[in-house]
Amino acid sequence: MLNLFLPNQHVKSIFEIQPEDLKRNGIKGIITDLDNTLVAWNQKEATVEVTEWFERMKAHDIKITIVSNNNQERVQFFCEPLSAPFLYSARKPLKRAFKTAAKQMKLEKKQVVVIGDQLMTDILGGNMAGLYTILVVPIVQTDGKITKLNRKIERYILGKLRKKGKITWEE
Protein backbone atom coordinates (compact mmCIF):
# COMPACT_ATOMS: atom_id res chain seq x y z
CA MET A 1 0.00 0.00 0.00
CA LEU A 2 2.77 2.43 0.90
CA ASN A 3 4.29 1.92 -2.57
CA LEU A 4 1.27 3.62 -4.15
CA PHE A 5 2.66 6.89 -2.74
CA LEU A 6 6.15 6.28 -4.13
CA PRO A 7 6.96 8.39 -7.20
CA ASN A 8 9.08 6.91 -9.96
CA GLN A 9 11.20 10.06 -9.95
CA HIS A 10 11.75 13.19 -7.84
CA VAL A 11 12.90 16.58 -9.17
CA LYS A 12 13.15 20.07 -7.74
CA SER A 13 11.05 21.68 -10.49
CA ILE A 14 9.45 21.02 -13.86
CA PHE A 15 12.42 22.73 -15.49
CA GLU A 16 14.58 19.68 -14.72
CA ILE A 17 12.27 17.65 -16.98
CA GLN A 18 13.60 17.87 -20.51
CA PRO A 19 11.77 16.80 -23.69
CA GLU A 20 14.80 14.91 -25.01
CA ASP A 21 14.87 12.71 -21.88
CA LEU A 22 11.14 12.06 -22.08
CA LYS A 23 11.30 11.11 -25.77
CA ARG A 24 14.28 8.84 -25.16
CA ASN A 25 12.08 6.97 -22.66
CA GLY A 26 9.12 6.71 -25.04
CA ILE A 27 7.08 9.46 -23.36
CA LYS A 28 4.77 11.37 -25.70
CA GLY A 29 2.44 12.98 -23.19
CA ILE A 30 2.44 14.79 -19.86
CA ILE A 31 -0.40 15.03 -17.39
CA THR A 32 0.56 17.82 -15.03
CA ASP A 33 -0.94 19.38 -11.96
CA LEU A 34 -1.30 23.17 -11.93
CA ASP A 35 -1.08 24.67 -8.45
CA ASN A 36 2.36 24.54 -6.82
CA THR A 37 3.61 22.38 -9.70
CA LEU A 38 3.62 24.86 -12.61
CA VAL A 39 3.10 28.09 -10.65
CA ALA A 40 2.37 29.06 -7.05
CA TRP A 41 -1.17 28.14 -6.02
CA ASN A 42 -2.12 31.81 -5.76
CA GLN A 43 -0.55 32.91 -9.07
CA LYS A 44 -3.10 33.29 -11.85
CA GLU A 45 -0.96 33.17 -15.00
CA ALA A 46 1.95 31.19 -16.39
CA THR A 47 5.39 32.69 -15.98
CA VAL A 48 7.62 33.29 -18.99
CA GLU A 49 9.67 30.23 -17.96
CA VAL A 50 6.58 27.99 -17.77
CA THR A 51 5.41 29.24 -21.18
CA GLU A 52 8.85 28.49 -22.65
CA TRP A 53 8.80 24.99 -21.06
CA PHE A 54 5.43 24.31 -22.69
CA GLU A 55 6.77 25.53 -26.04
CA ARG A 56 9.84 23.26 -25.77
CA MET A 57 7.61 20.27 -25.08
CA LYS A 58 5.33 21.12 -28.01
CA ALA A 59 8.36 21.58 -30.31
CA HIS A 60 9.29 17.97 -29.46
CA ASP A 61 5.71 16.75 -30.11
CA ILE A 62 5.04 16.08 -26.43
CA LYS A 63 1.41 16.71 -25.55
CA ILE A 64 0.51 18.33 -22.23
CA THR A 65 -2.81 18.17 -20.41
CA ILE A 66 -3.32 19.99 -17.13
CA VAL A 67 -5.37 18.03 -14.60
CA SER A 68 -6.39 20.02 -11.53
CA ASN A 69 -8.72 19.67 -8.59
CA ASN A 70 -9.28 23.42 -8.79
CA ASN A 71 -12.40 25.02 -10.31
CA GLN A 72 -13.07 25.70 -14.00
CA GLU A 73 -12.54 29.46 -13.80
CA ARG A 74 -9.06 29.15 -12.26
CA VAL A 75 -7.87 26.34 -14.53
CA GLN A 76 -9.33 27.75 -17.76
CA PHE A 77 -7.86 31.22 -17.10
CA PHE A 78 -4.40 29.66 -16.73
CA CYS A 79 -4.65 27.21 -19.64
CA GLU A 80 -6.21 29.29 -22.41
CA PRO A 81 -3.15 31.51 -23.12
CA LEU A 82 -1.04 28.31 -23.34
CA SER A 83 -3.58 26.60 -25.61
CA ALA A 84 -3.34 23.71 -23.16
CA PRO A 85 -6.13 21.17 -22.80
CA PHE A 86 -7.30 20.73 -19.22
CA LEU A 87 -9.54 18.88 -16.82
CA TYR A 88 -10.81 20.75 -13.76
CA SER A 89 -12.48 19.54 -10.56
CA ALA A 90 -10.64 16.30 -11.34
CA ARG A 91 -11.22 14.64 -7.97
CA LYS A 92 -7.64 13.39 -7.77
CA PRO A 93 -6.48 10.89 -6.58
CA LEU A 94 -9.33 9.06 -8.33
CA LYS A 95 -7.84 7.62 -11.48
CA ARG A 96 -10.66 8.59 -13.83
CA ALA A 97 -9.23 12.02 -14.74
CA PHE A 98 -5.79 10.52 -15.45
CA LYS A 99 -7.30 7.90 -17.75
CA THR A 100 -9.48 10.52 -19.45
CA ALA A 101 -6.48 12.78 -20.09
CA ALA A 102 -4.40 9.93 -21.57
CA LYS A 103 -7.34 8.90 -23.76
CA GLN A 104 -7.85 12.48 -24.99
CA MET A 105 -4.15 12.61 -25.93
CA LYS A 106 -4.65 9.26 -27.74
CA LEU A 107 -1.72 7.74 -25.88
CA GLU A 108 -1.07 4.45 -24.12
CA LYS A 109 -0.21 4.34 -20.41
CA LYS A 110 3.46 3.64 -21.09
CA GLN A 111 3.66 6.86 -23.15
CA VAL A 112 2.38 9.18 -20.41
CA VAL A 113 4.00 10.71 -17.34
CA VAL A 114 2.22 12.40 -14.42
CA ILE A 115 3.93 15.43 -12.84
CA GLY A 116 2.75 16.91 -9.56
CA ASP A 117 3.71 18.29 -6.16
CA GLN A 118 1.45 16.15 -3.93
CA LEU A 119 1.77 12.52 -2.94
CA MET A 120 -1.88 12.39 -1.83
CA THR A 121 -3.36 13.48 -5.16
CA ASP A 122 -0.94 13.50 -8.10
CA ILE A 123 1.38 10.61 -7.26
CA LEU A 124 -1.24 8.34 -5.70
CA GLY A 125 -3.67 8.94 -8.58
CA GLY A 126 -1.02 8.53 -11.27
CA ASN A 127 0.26 5.32 -9.70
CA MET A 128 -3.26 3.91 -9.33
CA ALA A 129 -3.82 4.67 -13.03
CA GLY A 130 -0.63 2.75 -13.88
CA LEU A 131 1.32 5.78 -15.09
CA TYR A 132 4.94 6.88 -14.55
CA THR A 133 5.00 9.56 -11.83
CA ILE A 134 7.33 12.46 -11.10
CA LEU A 135 7.11 14.35 -7.81
CA VAL A 136 8.24 17.97 -7.88
CA VAL A 137 9.06 20.15 -4.89
CA PRO A 138 6.13 22.55 -4.27
CA ILE A 139 6.86 26.01 -5.66
CA VAL A 140 5.80 27.76 -2.45
CA GLN A 141 5.45 26.44 1.07
CA THR A 142 2.00 27.94 1.65
CA ASP A 143 -1.17 26.03 0.77
CA GLY A 144 -4.94 26.16 0.92
CA LYS A 145 -6.72 24.51 3.90
CA ILE A 146 -7.22 21.03 2.41
CA THR A 147 -3.70 20.92 1.01
CA LYS A 148 -2.27 21.82 4.45
CA LEU A 149 -3.84 18.66 5.86
CA ASN A 150 -2.52 16.63 2.91
CA ARG A 151 0.99 17.99 3.53
CA LYS A 152 0.93 16.72 7.14
CA ILE A 153 -0.07 13.26 5.94
CA GLU A 154 2.57 13.44 3.20
CA ARG A 155 5.33 14.19 5.72
CA TYR A 156 4.28 11.11 7.67
CA ILE A 157 4.27 8.93 4.53
CA LEU A 158 7.62 10.33 3.35
CA GLY A 159 9.08 9.54 6.76
CA LYS A 160 7.88 5.94 6.48
CA LEU A 161 9.25 5.63 2.93
CA ARG A 162 12.58 7.13 4.00
CA LYS A 163 12.79 4.80 7.01
CA LYS A 164 12.24 1.80 4.70
CA GLY A 165 15.02 3.07 2.40
CA LYS A 166 12.65 3.65 -0.53
CA ILE A 167 13.53 7.33 -0.95
CA THR A 168 16.86 9.06 -0.58
CA TRP A 169 16.25 12.69 -1.49
CA GLU A 170 16.13 15.40 1.15
CA GLU A 171 13.14 17.69 1.59
Domain 2-163 has CATH 3.40.50.1000: yes
pLDDT in tens, 130-152: 999 999 999 987 666 667 777 78
- The CA-atom distances, in angstroms, between 35 and each of 31, 61, 121, 142 are 13, 24, 12, 11
pLDDT in tens, 96-129: 999 999 999 999 999 999 999 999 999 999 999 9
Q: Read off the pTM.
A: 0.91
